[in-house]
Structure formats: structure tokens, C-alpha cells
Amino acid sequence: MIFYPAASVCVPIIIADMLDSSDVWSAARAFALALANKPSNVTTITTPKIYSCKYSYSAQHSGIPLGAALKMTLSATVLSPPSELIARVTVDYVSSAESVDQMSDALAKFVNPQLKIMTVVIVERVSTVSEMTRSFVAYSAVLQPDAYGTNATLFIRGASFNDALIKSELGFQLDISKPLNAQLTTLCAELNYTCAFDAGVASSVPVSGRLFQPTTLSKILDEICLQNKIIPDIDDKNKMIRFHAQNKAPDSASVAMNSFSFLGYGKSSLLWAVGVENYANVKFKTTIFDARLFDKITIYNDSQSALFVGFKKSTPQIGPLIPAAYDAYVLRYAIDRNDAELCCEVTATNNWLLAQIRIDGILESTIFGGAL
């Protein structure tokens, strides 16, 4: 994990478990990664300080359902954190304020996110020559001593920039007399994002007009898209927001980006802990890869598992050597690093339409209704 304290000249703090073979980095590579992932609020960085500590984290990214409080979250713990990291992530206390006016002054001085924002970047290898990264805003840091007071653990909570930061540019009036596509393009341009619309996204006017107070980008897009039956897909790396239709699979996912199998068919990655939910969604664990929401993936049923009975096949089984293949679209993923495992947990759907609704209750009502 790379921490970027807010400063014009920043000294990044890197936490790595150098006793873990998957987390050994050279000083030169660590500096290159720190430079490559420098956040926009940091002008320049100097040589980072590297500490070897036992740590764990879980980073989750969810695209569906719409209306969720946070789309991309980080929950991390650092055992025996270095004192320099503790000092950097501690929010300046305002306990000396003894009146409402003093508290107001203290909040304006100390809790302004433009001044106190702390960026956290997680880095994991996906091959011998490349890494995947995810950036977060650390909005909470708690230092918890152990029962004997001889050690301590730092608990860090984070969220993506679009989930955590409210910007004044996001005050927005949604007008029912203008096309929705044009209004969304104007809104996203305020934050230097370009827009792409799938063929199934209508260019008609929005179903209702509303004045949005300045809020986070994820929240305002969620509310607009929920009413108009479209799905937003924010790509921070390429500064693009794609809008998908609820009743049609994403146009941008026409080609499967990754493939998975039980036994390693072809060059696919291994999957395990496989289960099926909501009748069309498959949930599994695999090695860490650069997962992206709404990407198409291929699952090969080379173990002849009965879990996929009823799923739509992209290619049928051909003899004993070529297994059946199933296409799916990534709805959620979680990257977990702890003492027990280092893996990526993926939830993907074989049926795009069923991914938008929960049909469990509908089917249960039909079953019990027929019994009555």
C-alpha cells in the first residue's frame, strides 16, 4: 500500500510485507510505482519511505444494484504501524474548541478535505511484468492498542474519489425539456470526463426534472440512472463514463477479456469456491487480475459441474476435450489480502436482464401462491 500525505512536496509512505514472497519489491520499483500513481493533489514526490509490516485489506467494487451508498471501498489494517504513518493519517483534533464559533473555525481550518485528503493506493502483481492498482481516499484512521498495550493496529477506511469527494461543479439542474444524453455529457465534462452511450440508451428526455445540490459523482449518476433505467460505468483511468442499458448487454463488452476454468483449460485462470446466486449469477474466487466492472468474461466448465445447468452457453461441449463455455458480465469484485488468502472474488451474471432484478421473491410468491 502506498500512502500519499497531502503536501506540495510529498514523501510517500509504502507499507509492504517483505516476509511474504508475493509482496517483495525493490526500492527502485517501489519508487517507480509511487511516481506512476501520484494523485492530482500532489505536485511532486520525493524518495518514498518503505516499511515492512504485517497488513491486510479488502477492496470491493460494486456496479449493481444502483443506489448503493458506496461503490468502491477499502478496509485495511496495519499491524505495528510506523510512527510516521500514524502521524500522517491522524486527523487534527479540534477538542480545544469550547464554543460553536470556535468549532466552526476549527472545522474550516482542520477538516477541509482539499487540505487534509490522504490518498491510498493498493498495488498487486498480475504478472511478472505488470501490476494492477486501485486508488482511494482515506476518510477514517483509528489506532487501536492491544489488550496489553505493547502493540497497536491501525484501521483505515477508504472510498473511491467519486464516492468520497463532493465538488461544487456537481450542482446540477436536470431539465425534462432537453435530451438526457446531452445533459449527462455536459455534467461529466465539468469533471473532465467524456461520455459514451450504448445503442440501447435512448436519447429521449429524462423522466423527471430535479435540482441536485453539490454531491458526489457516484450519487448523482446513481439517482439519474435509476430513474431512467440506465447503468453508469465510471472509468477513472481513461476519464470516461459509459452508460449501459438495463435491458441490453454492454456494447463495450463484445469481446471476453479474461477466461476462467476449474482445471485450467487452455490458458484460463483457475477458479474455486464457485456458487450460483439469483439463478443467473455465478460467484467465484480466482487469482488477482485487473478486473473491471461490466467486462465480459468466459467460464469453461471443464469439470463437467452441474452448477451451470440452465445457463446460456456461448459454445457447446465438443467431445471429452473441449468443454462448454459460458459468457458472463462482471457485476462486482473484491480483492482480498490477508493471512488466509490472496485472491479476487468475482460476481458475474450470465443473464444481463436478470442481473438488474431479484427474482427470488417473485418465484417464491408464485410457488406458495400455487400451493394455496
8 Å CB contact between 270 and 264: yes
CA distances (Å), origin 206, targets 49, 211, 352: 51, 13, 23
- 285 with 211, same domain: the answer is no
C-alpha cell at position 83 = 510512527
Average pLDDT on 211-219 reads 82
My answer on whether 321 and 340 are in the same domain is yes
The enclosing domain of 300 has a CATH number of 2.40.30.150
Does 366 reside within a domain? no
Q: Which residue has the higher pLDDT, 270 or 359?
A: 270
Mean pLDDT of all residues in 346-361: 78
| CA dihedral of residues 181, 184, 185, 186 (deg, nearest 10) | 130
Q: Residue 52 has what pLDDT?
A: 93
Mention every residue, 6+ apart, whose C-beta is less than 8 A from residue 22.
125, 342
Does one domain contain both 126 and 231?
Answer: no
What is the pLDDT at residue 67?
66
Tell me phi and psi for residue 156, to 5 degrees. Answer: -125, 130
Residue owning grid cell 425539456: 177
pLDDT at 245: 85
Cis status of the peptide bond prior to 39, with omega within 30 of 0: no
Binning pLDDT at 50, 70 and 90, where does residue 238 land? confident
Q: Is residue 363 part of a domain?
A: no
Considering the domain architecture, whether residues 86 and 46 belong to the same structural domain is answered as: yes
**Is the predicted pLDDT of residue 21 greater than 80, yes or no?**
yes
Q: Indicate the average pLDDT of the chain.
A: 83
pLDDT > 70? residue 110 = no
66 close to 225: Cβ distance less than 8 angstroms: yes
Answer yes or no: are the C-beta atoms of 10 and 45 closer than 8 Å: yes
Which whole number is the average pLDDT over 13-22?
Answer: 92
- Name residues whose C-beta falls within 8 Å of residue 252's C-beta, 6 or more positions apart in sequence: 196, 198, 233, 242, 294
Query: How many percent of the chain have pLDDT more than 70?
Result: 86
pLDDT at 75: 94
Residue that finishes a domain, picked among 161, 196, 228: 161
Look at residue 169 in the predicted model and tell me its pLDDT.
67
What is the mean predicted confidence (pLDDT) over 282-290?
Answer: 94
Please enumerate in sequence order all residues whose Cβ is within 8 A of that of 83, keeping only pairs 6 or more positions apart, or say none.
none
**pLDDT score, position 369:** 62
Mean pLDDT of 310-335: 90
The length of the chain is 372
| 347 shares its domain with 285 | yes
Domain end call among 187, 218, 248: 248
Confidence tier at 231 by pLDDT (50, 70, 90): confident
Domain with 143, as residue range(s), is: 2-161
Which amino acid is it at 162?
N
Whether 324 and 301 have beta carbons less than 8 Å apart is answered as yes
Q: How would residue 252 be classed by pLDDT, with cut points 50, 70 and 90? A: low
Q: Which has more pLDDT, 103 or 175?
A: 175
The CATH number of residue 187's host domain is 3.55.50.30
Cβ proximity of 277 and 283 under 8 Å: yes
In a domain, 372, yes or no: no
Q: CA-CA distance, 189 to 211, in Å (whole number)?
A: 18
Pair (20, 154) in one structural domain: yes
pLDDT at 30: 93
123-156: pLDDT as tens digits: 999 887 889 999 998 888 888 888 877 888 999 9
Domain count, the chain: 3
Is 281 inside a domain boundary?
yes
Q: What is the pLDDT of residue 351?
A: 86
Give me the DSSP letters along 82-131.
-HHHHHHHSPPP-TT--SHHHHHHHHHHH--HHHH--EEEEEEESSSS-E
Element (H, E) at 284: strand 281-286
d(CA 298, CA 352): 14
- pLDDT-derived band at 261 (thresholds 50, 70, 90) equals very high
DSSP string, 302-352: TT--GGGTTSPPSB--BTTTB--EEEEEEEEEEEEESSS-EEEEEEEES-H
pLDDT band at 225; cut points 50, 70, 90: confident
